[in-house]
Amino acid sequence: MAVSTETDECLLDRLCLGDEQAFVTLVERYRPSMLRIAAAYVPGPAVAEEVVQDTWLAVLRGAGRFEGRSSVRTWLFRILVNRARSVGARERRSVPLGTDLAPAVDQSRFDAAGNWRVPPAHWHDQVDDRLMAERIAGRIKSAIMDLPARQREVVTLRDIEGLRSDEVCGVLDISEANQRVLLHRGRSRLRQVIESEFGRA
Amino acid sequence: MRIRIRLARRDLVCRQAVELVTGYLEDSLSRGAKRRFEAHLAVCPHCTEYLAQLRATIALAGRIGPEDLTPPMRADFIALYRRWQADEAGPSA
């Protein structure tokens, strides 16, 4: 996979100057996360694809007017979320902002006093091994899709795309505290998945 | 005696510590909570491991990168781009 290291801002400039490869690179960079997020609002992958396609058209139309007040990726995701929400409302599917209050760790792993009864086994350096990391990354992708919609959005924006918490709050229009709860649940769940599949020595 | 009881109540147990991990990583804990969390880590190798696992989880998610488009998708997006360019150059521009 050829990973372009060009900045988003640079790609956006080139796209405005007629460079279609710059557009394709930007699409490749953000489309997977956009699909994950769109799917939080609309029924079915086909509609999510449509929303993402529409978003890219809106991005092209707005590219010349982008003023750089936020980062390009924050701007992209805000366009996406706005579109996904209006389509989602039209499709009469709204996802409640429920915050699934499952604890971070299965409670049976603690004793009555609240200390570890079944402590986490040390993750060996194999987790850092490149091939292993690729396998785990594949598993994490599917685990992220299985997260409740709101957790999926926050984890995607924070941990895959690397947005700051204030950017995520701006894109999703949620409070810092809410963002943190969703992030906590989402990350804790991903850790559980990695532990149950790869964590045993 | 009274002081010891109060200290004991302020000590975290593991079940509480794991719920503070995100707040700790986000640097959003109160000073007291942060101090108790760090004091707990200092004596608890399991929660230290747990924190390391959360950090590893975040790092692994961060390695999910861009994905190449399939040739038909690439063609679709190039077509979208060319239509946009034609519109820009057209009468509505």
* CB atoms A184 and B23 under 8 Å: yes
Residue pair A40/A152 in contact (Cβ under 8 Å)? The answer is: yes
Shortest Cα–Cα distance, A70 to chain B (Å): 21
Q: Give domain status of residue B85, yes or no.
A: no
- The count of residues in chain A is 201
The domain ranges of chain A are 8-90, 107-198
Q: Which two tokens stand for residue B26?
A: 């986000």
Best A191, A192, A193, A198 residue to mutate vs chain B (most B CBs within 10 Å): A191
| Residue A104 DSSP code | S
- Give the torsion sign (CA, B73, B78, B79, B80): positive
Express each pLDDT in A106-155 by its tens digit: 999 999 999 999 999 988 766 667 777 778 888 999 999 999 999 999 99
Q: Which structural domain range is residue B12 located in? A: 2-64
The CATH number fitting domain A8-90, selected from 3.40.50.11540, 3.30.300.30, 1.10.620.20, 1.10.1740.10: 1.10.1740.10
Measured CA to CA, the distance from residue B82 to residue B87 in angstroms comes to: 9
The ipTM is: 0.88
Other Cβ atoms within 10 Å of A87 Cβ, number: 19
Average predicted confidence (pLDDT) for chain B: 88
Q: What is the pLDDT of residue A138?
A: 87
Shortest Cα–Cα distance, B61 to chain A (Å): 5
Express each pLDDT in A72-113 by its tens digit: 999 999 999 999 999 988 876 555 555 567 899 999 999 999
Q: Which two tokens stand for residue A190?
A: 């991903």
Q: Alpha-carbon Rg of chain B, whole angstroms?
A: 26
Q: Give domain status of residue B54, yes or no.
A: yes
Shortest Cα–Cα distance, B14 to chain A (Å): 5
In chain B, how many domains are there?
Answer: 1
Express each pLDDT in B53-93 by its tens digit: 999 999 989 988 888 999 999 999 999 999 999 988 876 54
The CATH number fitting domain A107-198, selected from 1.10.10.10, 3.30.420.40, 3.30.1600.10, 3.30.1550.10: 1.10.10.10
User: Residue holding tokens 């930007």?
Assistant: A26
| Residue A110 DSSP code | B
